[in-house]
Structure 1
Amino acid sequence: MLQATKVRLYPTNEQKEFLSGQFGAVRFCFNRSVALKKRFYEKKGISLSIIKELKPLLSIAKKSRKYAWLAQYDSISLQEAVRHADKAFKNFFAKRAKYPKFKSKNGKQSSYHCTSVSVGGNWIKVPKCNPIKAVIHRLILGVVRSITVTKDRVGDYYASVLCETGEKEPEPIKVLKESAIKGIDAGIKVFLTDSDNQEIENPKGLTRHLKALRKLSKAVSRKQKGSHRRKKAVAKLSKFHRKVSRKREDFQHKVSKRMVDESQAVIPESLRIKNMLRNKRISRLIADAAWGNFYIKLAYKCRKAGKLFVPIDTFYPSSKTCPRCLHKFEGLTLARRRWICPHCGQLNQRDYAAALNIKRQGIVQLKAAGHTVLRQ
């Protein structure tokens, strides 16, 4: 089992200078790979293979006078930057992402290391750099496989330590109790409603602080580009976004942990969030809720605990179906939060009814996959 732990770093001024050069070398390799591939296609109509044709140029560049400075830094991290450029183009051609952009020194910086790495009681070691002081807040077990050093826009340094613990992932549960299966319906006003009729309010971390966000954004726009005061204003704005992000992450980790502990299987509804973000009226609220990140946390926590995470189809009409008689009510609109079934007369709470329908559909999928569901 692989487990990652993020720790805070406190490098010295000398180490900050080295890491700045390391980040710059990684950024240079990525940007150069993107630029060469783009240029050859535009000028000569040739689609270069980044891995087969551009990656071998790294060793040649290190021996030249112009690019000899690349040899001062970890070669594996430079090769990884080239692979990232190749992956960016593959994602673009597969229509999973936009056209690759050049990396900027003003954004988040990162560098991947997987050889000559180690972790001590209060330090980490990456290639060609002295041990960097770190706050190891959690016991790191197993063999260290890689360390990714990052610098955020505020200017703080972190390391993500990936370890192989030697433990095997537990086998998924085969026999489940129906009462221990949770169907969940995600929302905006209410973050989620489960099939036990429990509602979790949406903290709306960014939406509640829009006034502060506007003030900080205006402070940045008023400053002259390239000035010292603009850098300070950008740092304040970045610190605000980091605070909101940390609150959101903390909330989602607590909710997902409790949900996994209380159930044997979690059944969510698959969401096409990219399509939903096209609605300009609610796009900020959807982004603030971050349902995709929450589902990722649920999925890996379920897998680690041997529980089941079974998303159902996006187009299943969970909100329009009556959970009692299964009648599909076509007249339901997004504004109606309650509706009476025209077939059986039951008053349905929209989100709770959707959660019940999602649970029922999830049980069908579990049985089809060979699991046993007991009525308890």
Structure 2
Amino acid sequence: MHRATKVRIYPTQEQTELLEKQFGAVRFAYNKALYIRSHWYKKHGVSLNNAKHIQPLLPIAKKSRRYSWLKAADSNALQVSLQNLDRAFQNFFEKRAKYPKFKRKHGPQSSYHCSSLKITADTIKIPKISPIRANIHREIVGKVKSITISRAPTGKYYASILADDGQEAPAKPTYITQLTGYDIGLKDYLIRDDGKKTPNPRHLVNAYRRLRRDSKALSRKQKGSANRRKARIRLAAQHDRVANARNDFQHKLSRNIIVENQAVIVETLKTANMMKNKRLARHIGDAAWSGFVAKLAYKAEASGVHLVKLDQWFASSKTCHCCGHKMAEMPLKVREWQCPVCLTHHNRDINAAMNIRLKGITELMAAGHVVKAHGGLRKSVITTVAAYEVGSPAL
């Protein structure tokens, strides 16, 4: 299995200059290729192929007098930047992302390396740069496949080390006894099907006053001044603290969930549409649900746990988990409601979590797995729901 470890590195002044040149070369290759592909499409109506038309331009550019400075950069890093651009175009054509944008000099920077790599107890070696001091806090097990060097807005440098430990992912069980459904929310971050709730820590909201103060201080500084640079780093450090706190919370929560279960069922939400709500946009962005589900996904894969991600259109909140009756409307302000068919009183979030669990059991059984739920083997959840639907409203 491939495992990535992110460590802090401490380049010297000379190494920092070389890294910045490397970042500049990678950024230039990406932006130049983006310009060529965009210009060619506008002029001729034809989309250029990366492997056939773009990548062969790299060796030609290195031989030219104008772009000979590209020889000082790692060739693998330049090729990967072109592959990243090609992937960005694929995401755009498949409507998963917007049109690729040019990379800014003062934005996040990264450089990918996959050859001539060496890692010791406290250094990292990448092509064309002497060994860089690193704080390797965790043992790197297996063969190192690649190293990605990045610079954060705070000016700190990091290395993401990808290693292959040579082991296969553990097999997922076909007989499932530990299974939980989770509903994701804003007031409570997670709601389990048994009613247990995990409060939302609201990292961004709690730090908003400090962020607002530092943002105002930055706007008052003269552009290009040393004080503005200091204010920018101070603001970036505040955002870094918020991001680190959020990641720490999500990592610990996702690890606990994976350890406790053989199967986990969650719903996927279209946050892009939800962010259009101006009142909730900041809170939805702060929750970072997609990042949490991504952490659940790779931890589940590494631990041999089933992760069932339900479709965003699954009506978990307005469907009665007892009889299956589906309400026509369920506004967000309605937190509790009573089913008109079976007269069961529901808490909106707990009912959603229970529906998510039942739907997950159905999908697991459809995939050929045996699910033991509620003290016995779960043969069918559809027949139970159907029986209530045709029964008396008094049930």
What CA distance in whole angstroms lies between the structure 1 residues aligned with 2:321 and 2:366?
21
Tell me the amino acid that sits aligned with residue 307 of structure 2: F
Tell me the amino acid that sits aligned with residue 89 of structure 1: F
Alignment match, 1:30: 30
Alignment match, 1:58: 58
Inter-CA distance 269–46: structure 2 relative to 1 (3 Å threshold) = closer
Superposed CA offset, 1:326-366 (max 9, x none)? 22233432111111222222221111111011100100000
Mark the runs of 5 or more structure 1 residues left unpaired by the alignment.
none
Tell me the amino acid that sits aligned with residue 334 of structure 1: L
Indicate the larger mover: 217-226 or 180-189: 217-226
Secondary structure of 1:197's counterpart equals coil
Tell me the amino acid that sits aligned with residue 115 of structure 1: S
Pairing of 1:136-151 with structure 2 (within 5 A)? 136-151=136-151
Secondary structure of 1:65's counterpart equals coil
Indicate the larger mover: 273-282 or 140-149: 273-282
Secondary structure of 2:19's counterpart equals helix
Secondary structure of 2:137's counterpart equals coil
What CA distance in whole angstroms lies between the structure 2 residues aligned with 1:48 and 1:365?
41
| Cα pair 1:332 1:339 within 8 Å, conserved | no
- TM-score, structure 1 length as denominator? 0.97
What CA distance in whole angstroms lies between the structure 2 residues aligned with 1:149 and 1:215?
31
Aligned length: 374
The offset of 1:174, in angstroms, is 0.4
The offset of 1:13, in angstroms, is 0.8
The offset of 1:53, in angstroms, is 1.2
| Cα pair 1:223 1:229 within 8 Å, conserved | yes
Alignment match, 1:115: 115
Indicate the larger mover: 198-207 or 65-74: 65-74
| Cα pair 1:204 1:285 within 8 Å, conserved | yes
1:249 aligns with 2:213: no
What CA distance in whole angstroms lies between the structure 1 residues aligned with 2:360 and 2:43?
53
The offset of 1:227, in angstroms, is 2.6
- TM-score, structure 2 length as denominator? 0.92
Alignment match, 2:6: 6
Aligned structure 1 segments of 4 or more residues deviating by more than 4 angstroms: none
| Cα pair 1:51 1:86 within 8 Å, conserved | no
Secondary structure of 1:311's counterpart equals strand
Alignment match, 2:228: 230
Tell me the amino acid that sits aligned with residue 61 of structure 1: A
The offset of 1:298, in angstroms, is 0.7
What CA distance in whole angstroms lies between the structure 2 residues aligned with 1:306 and 1:57?
44
Alignment match, 2:315: 317
| Cα pair 1:91 1:97 within 8 Å, conserved | yes
The offset of 1:44, in angstroms, is 4.3
What CA distance in whole angstroms lies between the structure 2 residues aligned with 1:11 and 1:213?
29
Alignment match, 1:75: 75
1:195 aligns with 2:193: yes
Superposed CA offset, 1:40-60 (max 9, x none)? 233444433233112111111
Inter-CA distance 374–42: structure 2 relative to 1 (3 Å threshold) = closer
Alignment match, 2:379: none
Secondary structure of 2:203's counterpart equals coil
Indicate the larger mover: 149-158 or 61-70: 61-70
| Cα pair 1:302 1:309 within 8 Å, conserved | yes
Superposed CA offset, 1:270-324 (max 9, x none)? 2111111122221111110000000011111111111100112222211112222
1:330 pairs with one of 328, 337, 353: 328
The offset of 1:75, in angstroms, is 0.5
Percent identity, please.
Answer: 48
Secondary structure of 2:169's counterpart equals coil
Mark the runs of 5 or more structure 2 residues left unpaired by the alignment.
376-395
The offset of 1:247, in angstroms, is 0.2
Pairing of 1:255-266 with structure 2 (within 5 A)? 255-266=253-264
What CA distance in whole angstroms lies between the structure 2 residues aligned with 1:101 and 1:224?
28
